Amino acid sequence: MENSLGLEIIEVVEQAAIASARLMGKGDKNEADRVAVEAMRERMNKIYMRGRIVIGEGERDDAPMLYIGEEVGICSQPNAAELCSIDELLEIDIAVDPCEGTNLCAYGQPGSMAVLAISEKGGLFAAPDFYMKKLAAPPAAKGKVDINKSATENLKILSQCLDRSIEELVVVVMKRERHNELIAEIRAAGARVALISDGDVGAAINCGFAGTGIHALMGIGAAPEGVISAAALRCMDAHFQGQLIYDPAIVKTGLIGESKEANIARLLEMGITDPDKVYTAEELACGENVLFAGTGITSGNIMDGVRFFKGGARTHTLVISSQSKTARFVDTIHMNGKGGTIALK
Ligand SMILES: O=C(COP(=O)(O)O)[C@@H](O)[C@H](O)[C@H](O)[C@H](O)COP(=O)(O)O
Ligand SMILES: [Mn+2]
Ligand SMILES: [Mn+2]
């Protein structure tokens, strides 16, 4: 999968990031999102694969979004019979967030990315558009920290696993009212808190690398982003756990269905009989082969954003593979038209 699709997948996230980056700082998050979706779809539909979106922009409606269940790849084209032999192509499940951190992009803030995860059919958890309580931590703490434990207990465990004092730990938490107690607890335990307004996929991935200055992600974000984060962290043997949150009273933003009971019923309809189950990274991204790819739209901790120059653009992409056990940083110069002088600095 990595050999046949790796480079193509890189181009998918690169094109989405370039499209979105043209709208960086323009204050229009919907447009930044829309152009990323269009660019992602256009590039994805040239790939020789039988792709299916399992995490996208919601169920099919009139919007031209990458919707859940959408078939992508060369075989989804109207003239597919002339272009490919369907039975010979790989069946791939794809989770996408063409512009993760649309607010960050729209307001010129750091950390927005075009991201996706792929696996063979059935290899990614088709998470509902709910919230998810998340715990991400470095490989050294994998299976030792636990989302069922308190933040205070997890910080003690992290401190032992990373051989540093609690005061030397930094935990990323999304700045939301629902996290006020969590933030107070982390601070009281002695650790430092890095608050983010958006973009918890980037925060989770930061936990997978040493040297980012980020040692854990705690709190509640969106479930689809949880699956994409889990895919990346699974490839790195880092820690990720996620638990669906279906009670609007916990989330507090109110963007989660009518009531707790209605949400539980919706989960049941989807075949989720234990709504409180804690999922590991390996359950959320259970495929034999999993590939994560993300291109910086605006610059973040581990990736530069898109830089435009006369006649082209330069992108920075992270590709993590469970198959080859690699995390590759790909620095690409995109030459529009005839090319010309390429300035490296
Ligand atoms: O910040 C985020 C927004 O993602 P996007 O819509 O693709 O720009 C995500 O990283 C978060 O995980 C999540 O979507 C967020 O926590 C849910 O929104 P909120 O209700 O404001 O907490
Ligand atoms: Mn997102
Ligand atoms: Mn998005």
- 320-344 per-position pLDDT tens digit: 999 999 999 999 999 987 666 776 6
Q: Average per-residue pLDDT in the chain?
A: 93
Q: Which pLDDT does position 257 carry in this prediction?
A: 75
The 8-class DSSP code of residue 167 comes to G
Alpha carbon distance 45, 70 (integer Å) = 11
Taking the centre of ligand 3 as the mean of its atom positions, its distance from the CA of residue 86, in whole angstroms, is 30
Residue 238 is encoded by which pair of tokens? 């880092």
Alpha carbon distance 287, 264 (integer Å) = 26
Strand partners, 265: none
Residue of 221, 253, 227, 250 whose CA lies nearest to 240:
227
Residue of 196, 203, 19, 8 whose CA lies nearest to 99:
19
Q: Which of 29, 100, 244 to mutate to test the pocket of ligand 1 (most atoms within 8 A of CB)?
A: 100
Atom of ligand 1 nearest to the CA of 97: 7
For the chain, list the domains and their CATH numbers: 4-123+288-335 (3.30.540.10), 131-284 (3.40.190.90)
Is it the case that residue 53 has pLDDT exceeding 60?
Answer: yes
Amino acid letter at 303?
A: M
pTM, entire model: 0.95
Is it the case that residue 191 has pLDDT exceeding 80?
Answer: yes
The 8-class DSSP code of residue 168 comes to G
Of all ligands present, the nearest one to the C-alpha of 242 is: 1
Q: Which pLDDT does position 79 carry in this prediction?
A: 82
The 8-class DSSP code of residue 272 comes to -
Q: Which value does ipTM take for this structure?
A: 0.97
Instruction: In the chain, count H helices and then E strands.
Output: 11, 14
- Is 62 part of any known ligand binding site? no
